[in-house]
Amino acid sequence: MLKDRTSHGEQRKGLREVAAQPEEVYEALRRDALHYGARRNRLYIHGRGLIDLLLPGAQTDVSYALRAVHTENLIEFAISLLHPPDCKALRICLALESEARALQTLESRRQDAARLYGVAPNTFRLKHERALLFDLAFQVYSILIGAGPETPEYLIGIVPLQEGE
């Protein structure tokens, strides 16, 4: 079972305990997924911190490559739960929109995402990007603790569960 890192050490009934708090998820997304993208192959090379935070290997006994695949699936699912313009902007920023996006620079992806909101790329970077990544971090956290919508079948067995579930 993963450690509960809430300040009170209490757990609400029916929620899973997870090690990753929303602030940590945000920082890992910003550090590991934003620059290189959140595609499984990019996460495998550049996103070890994010993968280990969301799906610790010692807890799942799943290979690292498979955890990279599941991490991408988890991020994709969390993004799909957000509002359409935010969903599209995050998919662009994290290079999940298409194969070609993965080859674009972060600045180029920011320009494309900024167009969705009708703002300059720098305004997007300074105002929208942080808010979007933080929304995504909370959505991922909600899924991991079981407070979000039904976990899709392809994620069952890889998200941390409490004993007895």
pLDDT value at residue 144: 86
Comparison of pLDDT for 155 and 139, the residue scoring more = 139
Q: How far is Cα 162 from Cα 132, in angstroms, rounded to an integer?
A: 29
Within 8 A by CB and 6+ apart from 58, the residues are none
pLDDT value at residue 98: 76
Which pLDDT band holds residue 104 (cuts at 50, 70, 90)?
confident
What is the rounded average pLDDT of the residues 104-115?
92
Q: How far is Cα 38 from Cα 114, in angstroms, rounded to an integer?
A: 19
User: Is pLDDT of 56 > 90?
Assistant: no
Each residue of 87-117: b (16+ CB within 10 Å) or e?
A: bbbbbbbbbbbeeebbebebeebbbbbbeee
Which pLDDT band holds residue 85 (cuts at 50, 70, 90)?
very high
What is the rounded average pLDDT of the residues 47-72?
84
**Per mean pLDDT, which range of 2-6, 35-39, 67-71, 112-116 is the poorest?**
2-6
Q: How far is Cα 62 from Cα 97, in angstroms, rounded to an integer?
A: 27
Which pLDDT band holds residue 1 (cuts at 50, 70, 90)?
very low
What is the rounded average pLDDT of the residues 121-147?
93
Q: How far is Cα 66 from Cα 44, in angstroms, rounded to an integer?
A: 9
What is the rounded average pLDDT of the residues 54-58?
79
Q: How far is Cα 154 from Cα 162, in angstroms, rounded to an integer?
A: 18
